[in-house]
Amino acid sequence: MGGLVLVHGTPRALMRVLAWMVVCEPPEQTAADIQRELTLSAGSVSTSLRILGDIGMVERVARPGDRHIYYRQCDEGWELVVEARFRAFNEIRRVADRAVAAAEGAEGPRLIEMRDTWAFLESGGEELLRASRIRRGAPPIEGATSLRRDEPSTAP
């Protein structure tokens, strides 16, 4: 996971915390447990857990009678990350749509190819995420919104 830092520019500490959450036993860890195991600073662990929580990769867990806060990897975390990437496809396609409209018939083949490529990649996103939920036996998300914000949902 540390090698992905070079590809994605993600902070090394964040990738180390994510990797730990994937393999740690028990699956629920305190920030102090993570800090001790990975020999990271409290600030690096805290920041990493906050970011991972914000993107849906980890969740906070409370245990009855225990005042500690535990963290665990969310079952749907990977799907949430992929969904965020597909939403980015949507935004790129929308920008290209606006550029094509602004060109008023004078758009070039590169602009058309940009729009068409992102639209194609975007179109498979919902089905891919739906198939992933089915694969892991998760129930469909009721009232799910379409990845394409400018179109009505096709979710069941």
Within a domain: 145: no
Residues 55 and 87 in one domain: no
Burial (CB count within 10 angstroms: exposed 0-12, middle 13-18, buried 19+), residue 8: exposed
Per-residue model confidence as pLDDT tens for the chain (156 residues): 656 655 567 888 999 999 999 999 999 999 999 999 999 999 999 999 999 999 899 999 998 999 999 999 998 888 888 888 788 888 888 999 999 999 988 888 999 999 999 888 888 887 888 888 888 888 766 544 444 445 544 444
Residues 47 and 81 in one domain: no
Residues 59 and 93 in one domain: no
pLDDT of residue 1: 63
pLDDT of residue 144: 45
Residues 65 and 97 in one domain: no
Closest listed residue to residue 18, CA positions, set 55, 57, 50, 44: 57
pLDDT of residue 34: 98
Distance CA 52, CA 39 (A): 18
Number of domains in the chain: 2
pLDDT of residue 8: 66
pLDDT of residue 138: 81
Cβ-contact 143, 136 below 8 angstroms = no
Domain that holds residue 115: 77-135
pLDDT of residue 16: 92
CATH of the domain at 14: 1.10.10.10
pLDDT of residue 27: 95
Distance CA 155, CA 133 (A): 13
Closest listed residue to residue 23, CA positions, set 9, 37, 7: 37
